[in-house]
Structure 1
């Protein structure tokens, strides 16, 4: 049985495939001729469109019916009776589904190409080849895989269905990860391309980011200049503004969840792991996150909002400045106690500017109401100084380049 069947029923409110919807403003993503089999076995054309993550059917008198595809299995099929082949795809689950027919293999491939980005696919082993293991965590194993069609490389997160069904929290994390990552499209966020399910596992096919995580990068680089940190910090805070536009709180910002794009560049990255993400439409209460990065209001069991991500970002910037954790401890309990008390020291950062220290202290303010929002953090004087300094240096380099080019031209003329 699919782990997504119960989710689909819960979200849909029933096991009925279609739901009536009188709205006419669907944003059509794809449309092509589709047929359904009548009771007498005759194929009749139906008016079917893919509209983002909905399949929409327009019946007589322009009455719309729709079905949400997020948690439904999509499976192509070929019916061959030895004379004629019928091509089609099934959408739904074992206990209830709908079959749709198309004219040929090419049209079927095109439908599957579109449906695979919004539904749950079944044939992972046919579509991808595992190359090697990249990492192993508490919630799945990540592999490097190659698309059998395009030879493009992806990272694949494999999660045991046994682990998902045995622990409700794991199922909630999986739902969050799929739900939020399918919403997001940002150059600094890992993109979820496909979701697969077989008898034993769930596979999330995501961007492959080859530069390693930020934790490993800091071990290698030790300490960054303030100018480099400003470029990185600006991008991370821009990502948080983007998440805020969807009312999404990440709730697990940490070095290991920031993947560096390349070995050479220290500020291009992609944020990953949305298993603990939540919609911040109202005050949140779940205690979650990673020790050393958690906002104090979470540890104090207070209601909280998107400012918890600002706090975690402040911790990350502190580590970039110093190469140290702000709340060290011999075990998780010690770290959490210091994390909750939130006393940050700059004793080992003699070369850190006063503006930088103030910036860190503002972002890691223990009282949430006094902590800046993401937009306020981006307007901090430290940012203005660093980015203006970088702009001045770029302007100087540009002027020197033009001067040297001018000398070369003048030399050639003389």
Structure 2
């Protein structure tokens, strides 16, 4: 049963909002193992946690502390069990493009994870500054994220909250040149083991990045992460989400084939190379059975070979698979009689009834970075660059069988 919905302000009690010397002394009393660290400032927060920059008092090493408050309001035992998996998942999934876990300290009040400090900021913020990336820039960044996701899946885990905000630069990104920088995946707070014998259902993640099947009680699988990767790739290449604010905020997009979206028809998407469009479409297939896997993504022509060669290779692959040309001129709406469309329809029935009991999730749009409420007007499909921060909606639910 879906139980709750949280934005970015759920951490209201327990740990203080301002980390001056007096407040940090209070936290030290609650979690004595932290006496080795000098807190500098808060650099992020979540429904049940805060992330603080700090330095080791003996070595001077700069690190990040993620403090998960066990006594946070609305934190249920089922949520706590999910959150506890984060440290284990980070330990299990060590990788050059996954944030490094240095230590984990737990007591009756909180879990504190000692993490490497990533100083370059979110990929989302970089996209908002530059609007969109060239294909070469996007390719160099996306490959790093795809490698991390492939590694996570090889360990039998699902991230379940992949989005631009959860990709951080190690150092400030470069705005000129093909090599933008090194990125790492963060926030494994919703990570879970993939075990078909014990399915996990219900909506969990961020609207838009949330795979369509997850809105309809279809058991979670690694394919949900691949949809999220597809949305991330679309945004970095086009500077906008494929769907409108309204379609995302109201969770209408699970019923809309990507080829029918305003983003697909936009000039920014249609101007991409055929290999880039092919990869996006393979990731944003509504039917999870048809989506590219992480390993397949890494072998895709767009990532593997030069752009000119990739054009020919993708064309041959698409022709062999019987895929239509993804250009606007040759676009044909998905045939509802096709087996793929029928499979997707069977998987994705109804938008409002998001669980077997028929209950709806009260979704709450995030407030924009300037403090203004999100706008949900329909975008101009050719010119408007959507702010992804304005359309992200956090949905946190219980596990269900």
The normalised TM-score by structure 1 is 0.60
2:41–2:52: 8 Å Cα contact kept in structure 1? yes
Establish whether residue 341 from structure 1 lines up as the match of residue 341 from structure 2.
no
Give the C-alpha shift of residue 357 in structure 1.
1.2
Count residues with an aligned counterpart: 269
Change (3 A) 1:340 1:259: farther
The aligned residue for residue 137 of structure 2 is 228
Establish whether residue 291 from structure 1 lines up as the match of residue 207 from structure 2.
yes
Change (3 A) 1:339 1:213: farther
2:65–2:113: 8 Å Cα contact kept in structure 1? yes
Establish whether residue 358 from structure 1 lines up as the match of residue 267 from structure 2.
no
1:250–1:276: 8 Å Cα contact kept in structure 2? yes
Matches within 5 A, 1:85-104: none
The aligned residue for residue 328 of structure 1 is 244
The aligned residue for residue 380 of structure 1 is 300
Inter-partner Cα distance in structure 2 for 1:372 and 1:307: 8
The aligned residue for residue 221 of structure 2 is 305
Give the C-alpha shift of residue 202 in structure 1.
3.0
Alpha-carbon deviations, 1:371-406, whole Å to 9, x = none? 12112222222223447889xxxxxxxxxxxxxxxx
Inter-partner Cα distance in structure 1 for 2:161 and 2:110: 24
Q: Secondary structure at the match of 2:242?
A: coil
1:123–1:196: 8 Å Cα contact kept in structure 2? no
Inter-partner Cα distance in structure 1 for 2:136 and 2:162: 22
The aligned residue for residue 77 of structure 2 is 168
Establish whether residue 275 from structure 1 lines up as the match of residue 189 from structure 2.
yes
Alpha-carbon deviations, 1:256-296, whole Å to 9, x = none? 11111111343411111111111113254242111000111
2:212–2:253: 8 Å Cα contact kept in structure 1? no
Change (3 A) 1:224 1:164: same
Inter-partner Cα distance in structure 2 for 1:351 and 1:232: 20
1:144–1:154: 8 Å Cα contact kept in structure 2? yes
2:226–2:283: 8 Å Cα contact kept in structure 1? yes
Whose strand proportion is higher, 1 or 2?
1
2:39–2:52: 8 Å Cα contact kept in structure 1? yes
2:203–2:210: 8 Å Cα contact kept in structure 1? no
Unpaired segments ≥5 residues, structure 1: 1-120, 391-414
- Give the counterpart of 1:315 among 215, 231, 237: 231
Inter-partner Cα distance in structure 1 for 2:256 and 2:271: 26
The normalised TM-score by structure 2 is 0.62
Establish whether residue 212 from structure 1 lines up as the match of residue 121 from structure 2.
yes
Matches within 5 A, 1:172-183: 172-183=81-92
Q: Secondary structure at the match of 1:263?
A: coil
Alpha-carbon deviations, 1:168-217, whole Å to 9, x = none? 24312321112211222111101222223467443221111000111111
Establish whether residue 141 from structure 1 lines up as the match of residue 55 from structure 2.
no
Change (3 A) 1:340 1:163: farther
Give the C-alpha shift of residue 145 in structure 1.
0.5
Q: Which has the higher contact order (CA 8 A, sep 6+)?
A: 2
Establish whether residue 203 from structure 1 lines up as the match of residue 203 from structure 2.
no
Establish whether residue 254 from structure 1 lines up as the match of residue 163 from structure 2.
yes
Alpha-carbon deviations, 1:23-64, whole Å to 9, x = none? xxxxxxxxxxxxxxxxxxxxxxxxxxxxxxxxxxxxxxxxxx
Alpha-carbon deviations, 1:64-118, whole Å to 9, x = none? xxxxxxxxxxxxxxxxxxxxxxxxxxxxxxxxxxxxxxxxxxxxxxxxxxxxxxx
Inter-partner Cα distance in structure 2 for 1:377 and 1:153: 35
Alpha-carbon deviations, 1:302-325, whole Å to 9, x = none? 124211111110110000011101
1:249–1:279: 8 Å Cα contact kept in structure 2? yes
